[in-house]
Amino acid sequence: MKDDFGMRIGIGYDIHPLAGGRKLMLGGVEIEHEKGLSGHSDADALVHAFCDALLGVSNLGDLGEHFPETEEFEGAAGIDLLGRVARLVAEAGWRLVNADCIVHAESPRLSPYRDRMAGAMAAVLDVPADRVSIKFTRGEGMGPVGRGEAIAARAVVLVTAAGGGGER
């Protein structure tokens, strides 16, 4: 099959409520905070959004299809799921050009973790860290993010055909 341009763009989104008694994981990095994200896995909203963007751009469905809420994936590390998604995307004939991500969180302050997050996700994807951009914004008091009840993330990815020239 031949693509006209050999490139595709995908988008992913995830949101999880904050809860006591859990570690806060974002971008594969443990963040110091009194609450963590609640979910079946480690609830890493940033990695989950990234996974969904990669799966979607490759026409491989979504995170829930590949990693359902079963005992097998209970407590699973999002960064490990990203590694599995990276293999699926590569097998489908695509490779990451770059990703642009944004985390919506009222607290904690996340900018000190930016480089570690980008590095952790890039390492799993086997790309240079400068291909993974991460930004942060607050909810300014609006909605569940602004009230400090949840953290959300969005990811946009650009992939190219692994063979170059649009052939897969």
| Domain CATH for 82 | 3.30.1330.50
Residue 2 domain flag: no
Residue 168 domain flag: no
Q: What is the mean pLDDT of residues 56-70?
A: 85
Q: What's the structural domain count of the chain?
A: 1
- pLDDT per position as a tens digit, 74-98: 777 899 999 999 999 999 999 999 9
Rounded to a whole number of angstroms, the CA Rg of the chain reads 16
Q: What is the mean pLDDT of residues 14-18?
A: 97
The kind and range of the H/E element at 155 are strand 150-161
What amino acid is encoded at 101 in this protein?
C
Q: Which pLDDT value is given to residue 68?
A: 65
Residue 154 domain flag: yes
Residue 24 domain flag: yes
Residue 145 domain flag: yes
Q: Which one, of 97, 91, 98, 27, lies nearest residue 59 by Cα?
A: 91
Q: Which pLDDT value is given to residue 31?
A: 96
More confident residue, 15 or 77: 15
In the predicted structure, residue 124 carries a pLDDT above the cut 60: yes
Distance, CA of 77 to chain centre? 12
- pLDDT per position as a tens digit, 20-53: 999 999 999 999 999 999 998 899 999 999 999 9
Asked if 162 and 90 count as a contact pair (C-beta separation under 8 A), the reply is yes
Residue 1 domain flag: no
Residue 131 domain flag: yes
Which residue has 């031949």 as its token pair?
Answer: 2
In the predicted structure, residue 55 carries a pLDDT above the cut 90: yes
pTM of the model: 0.92
Which residue has 């993010």 as its token pair?
Answer: 145
The average confidence (pLDDT) of the chain is 91
Q: Which one, of 102, 119, 106, lies nearest residue 45 by Cα?
A: 102
